[in-house]
Structure 1
Amino acid sequence: LLYFWCLISANSKRKLLQIKKRVGKTSSQFWFIIMAESVDVFSSDMKAINMRRFLADLVLLYGFGLIGGVLIPHLTGTYIRGFFCDDESIRYTYKQDTVTPAVLLLYVFLVMIAVVAATETYRSKIDPPNSISQYRLGNTSIQPTVIRIINYIGYSQIGFVCLYVVTNLTKNCLGRLRPNFLDVCKPLNITCQGHEYYDNYVCSGNPEMVAEARRSFFSGHSSFAMYASTFAAIYLYARIPRHTLCRTALPIIQTTLLGIGLLISYSRINDHKHHWSDVIIGILAGVGTAVYTCVVWAQMFTKPTEEVLPIHNIHSGYTDVTTGIPANTNQDYGNSRER
């Protein structure tokens, strides 16, 4: 039973052959050495996961998002900007959202999680068994597919949180008025005329809606939707081998994802929530962040999977994670694309 237990991994097979050469054909000596080295034989190619680092990364990432994207904007408030009396760009009527914030977030997270989960599950079925490393958490074996899914979803979250912080801080710092500002604000006793700049006014509208009407630049809907769509499109290109799909399948999927992101962005102009320039900059911010996340942080096109794990401290071999001393070094090239 111990013998078959040792045969689980490719490294175990090699080690058994080495032991056989050392002791020759004497059965008793062979089994004695197997018993002495059983733990090392079984675990020589397993990667240890550092749970402390995983939790620390989670707290750091979402703590940064909470402080930079929610707490600081709430404490500092939005910049109070005046307007020109003849400015026609802020005189549009108020309309309900075509894509509500809840629907937007559902799309963003559903796309990234579903695409990554489906792709990594598919890769686990087509990758050669000897190219997929094994992982453990303590003495518990963890499925490699689960690790890869967490890996890439983790990177998608890093980019999203950073974009969320930058978007919210920019909105509050600039305080650009939305196209529907005057309809939402309902300023009292306006006496200015012509091209006169007017900043001494009091809004009679709903205070929360008025504060939101000062946060036009740049479009959060556009940046978040395009980030999710672009990340998913690049990820699919990096992780799906070309020969496994017909030539038109991947471009169609990518175009659909990008098209949905663009339609969400365009809806903000039709809903009188953003100026066209707000939407353009939001699109560029989302696309740029997604490209940077995939190419620089996740290094999807240059590094093996395990060399870029953001949430795991991996050591080859069955060693104490706190010591950081690996037994062997085995690289997993599971994320390289087959041309």
Structure 2
Amino acid sequence: MARFDVSKITAVISGLLNERLGDWIFILVCSLVYWYAEGLEPVQRMFRLDDPNIQYPKAKKEHVSSELCIVLVFIIPLLIVSLTPVVFVGRRNRLALIHASVLGLVSTFVIDGAVVDILKVWLGRPRPDLLDRCRPAPGTPTDQYVTVEVCTAKKTHSLNEGFKSTPSGHTATSFSCMVFFCLWLNGQTLALRPRSGLVKPALSFSPLLLAFYIAISRTEDNRHHLLDVMLGGIIGSTFGWALYRRYFPAINSPKSYIPHLDVEEEETDPEPLLGSDNV
């Protein structure tokens, strides 16, 4: 019996990886693009010293740093979607669910990040704290457009980042991962069943509050304009929804907890997480 179980698991893993190998290769390519785009120098648009939109001070400490943002909206959800099926899903079905969940969330994070970083470099919009980063030379005209050459600050990472305002990367990452995670929670718990009550939907959508908090904090830290945050939210939400639907049915589907698979389904359907309707 043990030998049969091992061979069965091996066959399932092999089938999953073979059928989704193209997706993993695409993720690897996007990861390289993401990493490369992070180091590119953005378009440095001309600006005016009397523009009130770029006269804000640079916050010394952010509400949510880049590292903390990744931990909150990507690492923690990744652990949840990876480990929860081990506890709640039958052995015959958990590998397919874990693979689809991890693949979906990782692709959401990487593809969204690559696209947003490329847009930042191309658009080159000044951040609200640009002048604080730039420190213009005394006597620089305030009533006409000038270039980055008037800055006394060296062309460091900080100054380059001053031209990467649109769209907000924190916001896009937060909404892409949190939208995917919320849809995953809804789908796995059948939260939208008519008899599910209010607790499941409320808990399933609650991670979006974190995305909104991070988005708002970017304006409080003078890192982004309101339009940057709104655009980041739209881009992130779009990727989160689209990539969830690539790997899972709609959350109002009777079998929303079963991932789309290109390998043969088991004879019996798996059970949803927390499948009781009275919660």
What band does the TM-score fall into relative to the shorter chain?
Answer: 0.7 to 0.9
Partner of 2:187: 238
Report the Cα distance in structure 2 between the residues aligned to 1:292 and 1:62, rounded to whole angstroms.
15
| CA distance 1:58–1:293, shift in 2 (3 Å) | closer
Partner of 2:237: 287
Partner of 2:68: 103
Paired-residue identity, %: 19
| CA distance 1:335–1:67, shift in 2 (3 Å) | farther
Report the Cα distance in structure 1 between the residues aligned to 2:36 and 2:247, rounded to whole angstroms.
28
Decide which of 85, 104, 108 is 1:155's aligned counterpart: 104
Decide which of 239, 242, 266 is 2:216's aligned counterpart: 266
- Once superposed, which parts of structure 1, at least 4 consecutive aligned residues long, lie more than 6 Å away? 302-307, 335-339
Partner of 1:94: 58
Partner of 2:247: 298
| CA distance 1:61–1:199, shift in 2 (3 Å) | same
Quick check: 1:49 aligned with 2:10? no
Contact kept in structure 1, 2:13 and 2:95, CA below 8 Å = no
Contact kept in structure 2, 1:300 and 1:335, CA below 8 Å = no
Q: Which has the higher strand share?
A: 1
For 1:260, give the aligned amino acid.
L
Deviates more, 1:167-176 or 1:60-69: 60-69
Task: Give the CA deviation at 1:292.
Answer: 0.9
Report the Cα distance in structure 2 between the residues aligned to 1:157 and 1:335, rounded to whole angstroms.
24
Larger Rg: 1
Partner of 1:201: 149
Secondary structure at the residue paired with 2:57?
coil
Task: Give the CA deviation at 1:111.
Answer: 3.7
| CA distance 1:93–1:249, shift in 2 (3 Å) | same
Task: Give the CA deviation at 1:299.
Answer: 3.2
Secondary structure at the residue paired with 2:150?
coil
Partner of 1:35: none
Partner of 1:79: 43
Q: Superposition RMSD on alpha carbons, in Å?
A: 3.3
Task: Give the CA deviation at 1:188.
Answer: 2.0
Report the Cα distance in structure 2 between the residues aligned to 1:106 and 1:167, rounded to whole angstroms.
19
Report the Cα distance in structure 1 between the residues aligned to 2:242 and 2:220, rounded to whole angstroms.
30
Contact kept in structure 1, 2:248 and 2:259, CA below 8 Å = no
Task: Give the CA deviation at 1:87.
Answer: 0.6
| CA distance 1:159–1:123, shift in 2 (3 Å) | same
Contact kept in structure 1, 2:81 and 2:98, CA below 8 Å = yes
Contact kept in structure 2, 1:119 and 1:240, CA below 8 Å = no
Partner of 1:251: 201
Corresponding pairs, count = 264
Task: Give the CA deviation at 1:173.
Answer: 0.6
Report the Cα distance in structure 2 between the residues aligned to 1:99 and 1:146, rounded to whole angstroms.
34
Task: Give CA-to-partner distance per residue, 1:131-163, whole Å, 9 cap, x none.
Answer: x7x4xxxxxxxxx32442122111111121110
Equivalent runs, 1:34-183 vs 2, <5 Å: 47=12, 49-50=14-15, 53=18, 56-57=21-22, 60-72=25-37, 74=39, 76-95=40-59, 96-117=61-82, 119-121=84-86, 123-124=88-89, 134=92, 144-183=93-132
Contact kept in structure 2, 1:112 and 1:232, CA below 8 Å = yes
Structure 1 portions without partners, runs of 5+: 10-41, 126-131, 135-143, 317-328
Contact kept in structure 2, 1:81 and 1:176, CA below 8 Å = yes
Report the Cα distance in structure 2 between the residues aligned to 1:281 and 1:183, rounded to whole angstroms.
24
Report the Cα distance in structure 2 between the residues aligned to 1:65 and 1:208, rounded to whole angstroms.
23
TM-score in terms of structure 2 length? 0.80
| CA distance 1:227–1:307, shift in 2 (3 Å) | closer
Equivalent runs, 1:181-196 vs 2, <5 Å: 181-194=130-143, 196=144
Report the Cα distance in structure 1 between the residues aligned to 2:220 and 2:71, rounded to whole angstroms.
21
Report the Cα distance in structure 2 between the residues aligned to 1:57 and 1:332, rounded to whole angstroms.
28
Decide which of 274, 278, 292 is 2:228's aligned counterpart: 278
TM-score in terms of structure 1 length? 0.67
